[in-house]
Amino acid sequence: MNIIADLQLHSRFSRACSKNITLDKLEEYARIKGINLLSTGDFQHPIWNSEIKKNLEEDENGILWSKNKFPFVWGSEVSLMYSDEGRRAVHLLMFAPNVEIANQIIDVLGKRWRIDYDGRPIFGTTSPEFVELLKEIDDRIEIIPAHCMTSWFGVFGSKSGFDSLKDCFKDKVNKIYAIESGMSADPSMLWRLKENVNIVSFSDAHSYWPWRLGREATVFDFDKLSYDNVLKAIRTGDGINKTIEVAPEYGKYHVDGHRSCGFFCDFNESKRLNKICPKCGKELTIGVEYRIEELSKEKEYRPSNAKDFVKVVPLHELIAVVYDVKQLNGKKIGEIYDLLINKFENEFNILLNVSEEELKTVINEKLVRLILLNREGKLKIEPGADGVYGRIILDNNEKIKVQKSLSEF
């Protein structure tokens, strides 16, 4: 049984997140996307926690079910910021096996820090101390470094203060079984670090829209959906089928740059500039591409237990660029998106499976071509940097000129 899981998302109580997020909306758009399992997100936040307990019912396997039989697991994300011979900062995912353990986590965290002001709270404790704190509650609590390469809060990021998992977790590194790839990196880049951990991928969605939710995901394969099976897959790799990634260039921290200066460059140019912005004279925000070159042990490497992965940009982005429309949630894009969903069930099916011939019966050939290029990993993308998303590049002759309605080809 293949289960497409997105286990990193947020509630409306997290900073910089949509104020319209509800469990119902997350479920609705997860089904449209083709996701089969979600994290609750932010479970330690008191108001969101009460909504989880009111709307979801936990079974004997640690899975929470909505009234429409959609599954969730207890999950959240925290930010650790502390000083240890310099700035140290990392975002960590945490997962609980059941409501009893989730309540114990809330109790322990709440006695030390405020957990009511933000769905992704900031704690001033070291990474080893945080791991020890949770593992004293129950060893089945899982901790995963989130978006592991991004500049400011990824464990390997240029601003995090760490160069390895050992640097971050020290004597507790043996309790870290997986890393989350993040949008600006893919597994083939992370393999080069030769860290002995599994790789998972999730969206870090700040809204429920399908161009955010599930933009990255992990495909599990096991007979029965249970927290223990998810945990086993994460810790051993047995049960991870593959990951769904976006093209790394699409991510907001792939190359180097200064957003405020409008300057971006690849790592070779950054090296030539000694990481200094030629416009303002300050240090560039160094992205994933540069860090991989700094930290990698090999030019190319694939471990024997490596899992496959696919790279696809969300469908809304493809429709928007081919029709030259800026507003992703606008009526024009929604018209084509809904047409495809009504015909082919969900977005992942469209992005990964539906044949060229079938697509041509519904949409313009130029959009069909873009979907296929996306599937084959052949999109031309101007890479993102310093918090700016990458951008798909199309020539004018590859775009569709809109007359009255997008449904008129």
Tell me the CATH number at 47. Answer: 3.20.20.140
Alpha helices by DSSP H, listed for 201-273, are 227-236, 267-272
pLDDT at residue 85, rounded to an integer: 87
Domain boundary among 200, 231, 250: 250
DSSP 67: T
- CA triple 64-69-70, angle to 5 deg: 65
pTM: predicted TM-score of the whole model, two decimal places: 0.96
Residue 333: pLDDT band with limits 50, 70, 90:
very high
Confidence of residue 196 (pLDDT cuts 50, 70, 90): very high
3-class SS of residue 16: coil
Domain boundary among 203, 224, 250: 250
User: Residue 93: phi, psi to the nearest 5?
Assistant: -85, 145
Q: How far is 198 from 194, CA to CA, in rounded Å?
A: 11
Section 96-104 average pLDDT: 98
The enclosing H or E element of 344 equals: helix 331-344
- Among candidates 288, 287, 280, which has minimal Cα distance to 263? 280
Question: At which of 250, 266, 293 does a domain end?
Answer: 250
Q: 368 CB contacts (<8 Å, ≥6 apart)?
A: 356, 359, 360
Task: Give residue 235's pLDDT band: very low, low, confident or very high (50, 70, 90).
Answer: very high
If residue 89 lies in a helix (H) or strand (E), which one and from where to where? Answer: strand 87-96
- Predicted confidence (pLDDT) per residue in 127-184, tens digit: 999 999 999 999 999 999 999 999 999 999 999 999 999 999 999 999 999 999 999 9
Residue 103 predicted with pLDDT over 70: yes
Do 111 and 245 sit in the same domain of this protein? yes
**Does residue 353 share a domain with residue 227?**
no
Task: Specify whether 112 is located in the same domain as 200.
Answer: yes
C-alpha span between 105 and 135 (Å, rounded): 10
Region 220-227 average pLDDT = 97
The answer to whether residue 407 scores a pLDDT higher than 70 is: no
Spatial CB neighbours of 170, under 8 Å, sequence gap ≥ 6: 127, 128
Mean pLDDT, range 289-311, rounded to an integer? 95
pLDDT in tens, 59-85: 999 999 999 999 999 999 999 999 998
What mean pLDDT is reported for the chain?
96
CB 212 within 8 A of CB 25: no
pLDDT tens string 237-277: 999 999 999 999 999 999 999 999 999 999 999 999 999 99
In a domain, 404, yes or no: no
| Tally of CA atoms within 13 A in the half-sphere of 244 that contains its CB | 29
Residue 57's beta-bridge partner residues?
A: 65
Instruction: Tell whether 220 is covered by a domain.
Output: yes
Residue 350 sits in which domain range? 314-398
* Interatomic CA distance for residues 319 and 22, integer angstroms: 26
pLDDT-derived band at 409 (thresholds 50, 70, 90) equals very low
Indicate whether 350 and 235 sit together in one domain.
no
C-alpha span between 168 and 90 (Å, rounded):
9
Question: What pLDDT was estimated at residue 403?
Answer: 54
pLDDT at residue number 330? 87
Instruction: Let me know if residue 107 belongs to a domain.
Output: yes
Helices (H) and strands (E) in the chain, counts: 14, 17
pLDDT value, residue 178: 98
Cα angle 192, 194, 199; round to 5: 85
Distance between CA atoms of residues 94 and 82, nearest Å: 19
Name the domain count of the chain: 2
Domain identity same for 52 and 199:
yes
